[in-house]
């Protein structure tokens, strides 16, 4: 470690900024946020600084830097464009053991300013030790997006209850359990959902009840069509805090790999015609795990509420009084649309889109074929591979032209994505001697012809050798 990361209290302490330009403006702003008494020394001040002097937010001396400016100062920032002045400030400050930062010149600094993710009172600082401010900024952007903005509010809530909880739970283990439940469970989720009052009431009740055993709940999470980049932030967060992951075949390995490493994983199958566990047993398994006090992530392919039987799982949970939340995922048709370059609607070709199940039951599909055969619309069939002849046949029979473009897309958004393009009349021929890997979607509509022009996704290039 080259630098010691510390958070410094500068409230009401004198902070000197040497320089009066735009860089100084940013540093002054930061110091003011931390409550410092800011004094600026510079022959000229940009209007923003002048305005702060006028309003009394900061003080200034309009002249060149002099050693006497360091008198009584707790911290100095040199932000002039004159290297000699910056070097002098650094040298004199260091001789007096005053922490000094020279903007963009790590060699002259006794401390560096990190990139900050501010969720006050939670603060995260990122530093590359001056090696690359741009890299620090990029990391910061990642952290900004991964840490819910509500963390600050969560920390404030927790802070208000600290003493109460300390008094209620004398044993440190019990106290830790209690806080882990609060920070990773229902109460934190209430804060993230903006329900601060309910969260406070729940915390109040939890302290009063003195409960330190784990409370289980179920997260019904949409894992998207395959590419892990398509997960939502919420999905990722819950995948990483769950104790158990209950998943099936549609969830890609790359997505599964992002789950908490030491979480128990339970595979519940859903192989075509070979359901590893019947749906009722999956429903009861979720209830059982949650009642054991576990946080269960029921991870499903695509979106849980699109042909995912998520509704049934939730019905059972609700009936059994188990807490749950649902996280949307990118459904296969939406992922396929982008990654295959087939817009689902288009002003010139298609005014609506229908997602429909092409699951065969006793060799047929009970669908409203005359509605699906209307022109100027896109129809996406899920689970339709086996029923492909039935689909083509019925659409043509009910009046859709046999020239209507059609695509069969396998394993959309994954390294093995592949498109087979034809028409209602030719598709069966197109795929005749092809090896097609599940899962697949079937898209019918004029928009399919845009694929040639719009396709951008090259699995090999995108995923490298994976």
Catalytic residues: 248, 270
Q: Is 298 helix (H, G, I), strand (E, B) or coil?
A: strand
Q: Which CB sits closer to ligand SAH, 61 or 249?
A: 249
In the complex, least distance from residue 310 CB atom to ligand SAH, rounded to whole angstroms:
8
Q: List all residues 6 or more positions away from 35 whose beta carbon is below 8 Å from its beta carbon.
A: 10, 11, 12
In the complex, least distance from residue 306 CB atom to ligand SAH, rounded to whole angstroms:
4
In the complex, least distance from residue 110 CB atom to ligand SAH, rounded to whole angstroms:
54
In the complex, least distance from residue 302 CB atom to ligand SAH, rounded to whole angstroms:
2
Which of 188, 413, 444, 448 binds ligand SAH (CB under 6 A)? It is 413
Q: Which CB sits closer to ligand SAH, 302 or 341?
A: 302
Q: Which CB sits closer to ligand SAH, 185 or 301?
A: 301
Which of 69, 212, 248, 303 binds ligand SAH (CB under 6 A)? It is 303
Query: Is residue 406 a contact point for ligand SAH (CB under 6 A)?
Result: no
Of 11-19, 289-297, 329-337, 367-375, the segment contacting ligand SAH by CB under 6 A is 329-337
117 token code pair: 């993710």
Counting residues that bind ligand SAH (by CB under 6 A) gives 23
In the complex, least distance from residue 427 CB atom to ligand SAH, rounded to whole angstroms:
15
- What Cα–Cα distance (Å) separates residue 178 from each residue in 91, 173, 278, 280, 356? 51, 8, 36, 33, 46
In the complex, least distance from residue 426 CB atom to ligand SAH, rounded to whole angstroms:
21
Burial of 145 (0-12, 13-18, 19+ CB in 10 A): exposed
Query: Is residue 326 a contact point for ligand SAH (CB under 6 A)?
Result: no
Query: Is residue 306 a contact point for ligand SAH (CB under 6 A)?
Result: yes
Q: Which CB sits closer to ligand SAH, 15 or 367?
A: 367
Q: Given 3-state DSSP classes, what are the helix, strand and coil percentages for the chain, each rounded to the nearest 5?
A: 40, 20, 40
Residue nearest to ligand SAH (CB): 302
* Edge-to-edge strand list for the sheet holding 75-78: 59-61, 37-41, 14-18, 75-78, 100-102
Q: In whole angstroms, what is the distance from residue 426 CA to residue 354 CA?
A: 22
In the complex, least distance from residue 388 CB atom to ligand SAH, rounded to whole angstroms:
11
Which of 216, 308, 343, 387 binds ligand SAH (CB under 6 A)? It is 308
Total residue count of the chain as it appears in this document: 466
Query: Is residue 338 a contact point for ligand SAH (CB under 6 A)?
Result: no
CB 285 within 8 A of CB 361: no
CB 308 within 8 A of CB 301: yes
Q: Using CB under 6 A as the criterion, what x/- string covers residues 414-453 for binding ligand SAH?
A: x------------------------xxx------------
Q: In whole angstroms, what is the distance from residue 37 CA to residue 366 CA?
A: 75
* Prior bond of 67 cis (ω within 30°): no
CB 422 within 8 A of CB 436: no
Query: Is residue 339 a contact point for ligand SAH (CB under 6 A)?
Result: no
Q: Report the sign of the C-alpha dihedral through residues 119, 120, 122, 124, in that order.
A: positive
Which of 42, 283, 377, 411 binds ligand SAH (CB under 6 A)? It is 411
Q: Which CB sits closer to ligand SAH, 70 or 332?
A: 332
Q: Using CB under 6 A as the criterion, what x/- string covers residues 253-292 for binding ligand SAH?
A: ----------------------------------------
H helix count then E strand count, the chain? 18, 17
Site for ligand SAH in 211-250 (CB under 6 A): 225-226, 250
Query: Is residue 307 a contact point for ligand SAH (CB under 6 A)?
Result: yes
CB 325 within 8 A of CB 310: no
Which of 114, 216, 301, 445 binds ligand SAH (CB under 6 A)? It is 301
Which of 38, 297, 332, 340 binds ligand SAH (CB under 6 A)? It is 332
Site for ligand SAH in 185-204 (CB under 6 A): none
Q: How many CA atoms lie within 13 A of 95 on its CB side?
A: 9
* Prior bond of 121 cis (ω within 30°): yes
Query: Is residue 412 a contact point for ligand SAH (CB under 6 A)?
Result: yes
Q: Which CB sits closer to ligand SAH, 294 or 300?
A: 300
Q: In whole angstroms, what is the distance from residue 143 CA to residue 336 CA?
A: 29
Write out the DSSP string of 226-254: S-GGGS-HHHHHHHHH-SEEEE-TTS-HH
Q: Which helix (H) or strand (E) holds 98?
A: none
Site for ligand SAH in 88-107 (CB under 6 A): none
Q: In whole angstroms, what is the distance from residue 56 CA to residue 32 CA?
A: 12
Q: Facing residues of 76 across strands?
A: 16, 100
Q: In whole angstroms, what is the distance from residue 409 CA to residue 405 CA?
A: 13
Q: Which CB sits closer to ligand SAH, 78 or 238?
A: 238
Name the residues that contact ligand SAH, by CB under 6 A: 225-226, 250, 300-303, 306-308, 331-332, 336, 382-383, 409, 411-414, 439-441
């Amino acid at each position: 470690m080259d630098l010691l990361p510390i958070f410094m209290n500068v409230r009401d302490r004198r902070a000197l900024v040497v320089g009066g330009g735009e860089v100084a403006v940013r540093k002054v702003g930061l110091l003011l946020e931390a409550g410092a008494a800011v004094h600026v020394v510079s022959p000229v001040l940009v209007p923003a600084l002048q305005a702060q002097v006028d309003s009394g937010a900061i003080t200034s001396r309009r002249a060149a830097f002099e050693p006497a400016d360091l008198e009584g100062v707790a911290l100095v920032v040199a932000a002039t464009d004159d290297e000699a002045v910056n070097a002098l400030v650094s040298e004199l400050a260091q001789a007096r053991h005053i922490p000094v930062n020279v903007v963009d010149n790590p060699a002259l600094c006794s401390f560096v300013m990190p990139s900050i993710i501010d969720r006050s009172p939670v603060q995260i600082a990122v530093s590359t030790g001056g090696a690359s401010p741009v890299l620090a900024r990029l990391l910061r952007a990642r952290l900004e997006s991964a840490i819910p903005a509500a963390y600050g509010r969560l920390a404030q809530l927790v802070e208000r209850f600290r003493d109460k909880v300390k008094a209620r739970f004398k044993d440190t283990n019990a106290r830790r359990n209690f806080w882990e439940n609060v920070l990773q469970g229902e109460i934190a989720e209430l804060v993230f959902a903006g329900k601060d009052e309910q969260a406070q009431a729940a915390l109040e009740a939890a302290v009063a009840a003195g409960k330190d055993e784990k409370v289980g709940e179920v997260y019904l999470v949409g894992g998207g069509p395959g590419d892990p980049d398509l997960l939502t932030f919420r999905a990722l967060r819950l995948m990483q805090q769950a104790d158990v992951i209950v998943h099936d075949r549609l969830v890609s390995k790359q997505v599964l790999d992002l789950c908490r490493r030491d979480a128990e994983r339970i595979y519940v199958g859903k192989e075509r015609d070979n359901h590893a566990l019947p749906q009722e047993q999956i429903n009861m398994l979720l209830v059982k795990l949650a009642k054991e006090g576990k946080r269960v992530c029921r991870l499903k392919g695509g979106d849980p509420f699109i042909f995912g039987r998520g509704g049934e799982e939730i019905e059972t949970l609700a009936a059994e009084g188990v807490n749950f939340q649902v996280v949307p995922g990118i459904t296969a048709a939406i992922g396929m649309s982008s990654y295959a370059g087939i817009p689902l609607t288009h002003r010139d070709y298609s005014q609506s889109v229908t997602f429909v199940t092409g699951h065969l039951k006793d060799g047929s599909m009970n669908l409203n074929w005359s509605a699906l055969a209307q022109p100027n619309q896109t129809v996406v069939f899920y689970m339709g591979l086996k029923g492909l002849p039935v689909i083509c046949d019925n659409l043509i029979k009910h009046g859709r032209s046999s020239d209507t473009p059609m695509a069969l897309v396998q394993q959309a958004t994954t390294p093995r994505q592949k498109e087979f393009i034809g028409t209602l009349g030719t598709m069966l021929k197109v795929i005749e001697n092809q090896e097609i890997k599940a899962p697949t979607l079937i898209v019918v509509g004029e928009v399919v012809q845009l694929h040639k022009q719009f396709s951008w996704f090259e699995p090999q290039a995108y995923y490298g050798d994976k």
